[in-house]
Amino acid sequence: MDTFELTLVAQEGQTAVLEVAGYINNEGGEVIAREARKLLDSGCRNLLFDLRATRIINSIGISLLLEVLERTLEVKGTLAFCSLTPSIAKTFQIMGLAQYARIFPDRPAALDELTAAR
């Protein structure tokens, strides 16, 4: 599926869960960055992006995710991803993203930890 879609599926306390579907390029990345900024500005501190329906993130999309990461770290929040395809997991590993962001196998595992931490 290449049509990009971002859906805020849950927001409880300081944790928001967003489902991302489709190709994350410059346009998709900007939508993500905009929504993340809005959530962080409204007091949300944990952002979980469920990438189950995302097959490919290009390098421009990556750079926009880094903007989200930078902003999340500035507010002492946590940026997390779950349900990565093997190729996206490898992309994140090449970048060294796990040093700064949390990566979980699935949404329940992520929420267990993110909601327990706050």
Partner 1 sequence: MAEPVRLRLVLPRVARAELIAGDAMDDLGRRISFPRDTLAEVKLAVVEACLNALEYSAGEVAVELTAHGDDAQPWIEVVVTDHGPGFDPSGVSRPVLEAKLHAPRKRGWGLELIRRLMDDVTITSRPGLTTVHMIRRTGGE
In the complex, the smallest distance separating the C-beta of residue 26 from partner 1, rounded to whole angstroms, is 10
d(CA 92, CA 103): 9
User: Residue numbers of the site for partner 1 (CB under 8 A)?
Assistant: 2, 23, 25, 55-56, 58-60, 62-64, 66-67, 69-70, 73, 85-87, 90-91, 94-97, 99-100
Identify which of residues 6 and 56 has a Cβ nearer to partner 1 in the complex.
Answer: 56
Identify which of residues 90 and 118 has a Cβ nearer to partner 1 in the complex.
Answer: 90
